[in-house]
Amino acid sequence: MVNSVYEIRYCKQAQKDIKCLKEANLAKNAKNLIEIIRENPYESPPPFEKLKGELTGVFSRRINRQHKIIYKVDKERKAVIIIRMWTHYE
């Protein structure tokens, strides 16, 4: 059986967001979502949202009510690029 798992890559901002998630006790929630995304970035549930406008081609999933994982999928490289994991609605 061919391994169909996606590689997870983190943008610099997403790497910084990890500290905030840990401080807010949300790291486990984010890690669980990332494991789902790693297996299949289009799997629902949990639901995901296709973003529009300047962010066409980018997806989001809720970590909790306030925070989301924002990511894009590179199908050619079989990779998911995590862009953000902390809110920008402050």
Residue 1 pLDDT = 44
Compute the distance between CA of residue 13 and CA of residue 40 in angstroms, rounded to an integer: 23
Q: What's the rounded mean pLDDT across residues 65-87?
A: 95
Q: What is the pLDDT of residue 30?
A: 97
Name the pLDDT band for 88 (thresholds 50, 70, 90).
low
Residues of the chain with pLDDT > 90, as a percent, come to 86
- The rounded distance, in Å, linking the Cα atoms of 71 and 59 is 5
Query: What is the per-residue pLDDT across 66-76, written as a single tens digit (0 to 9) for each?
Result: 999 999 999 99
**CB-based burial label for 36 (10 Å; 0-12, 13-18, 19+):** middle
CATH topology classification for 7-84: YaeB-like fold (3.30.2310)
pLDDT, one tens digit per residue, over 26-56 is 999 999 999 999 999 999 999 999 999 999 9
Q: Does residue 60 surpass a pLDDT of 60?
A: yes
> Hey, where are the domains in the chain?
7-84
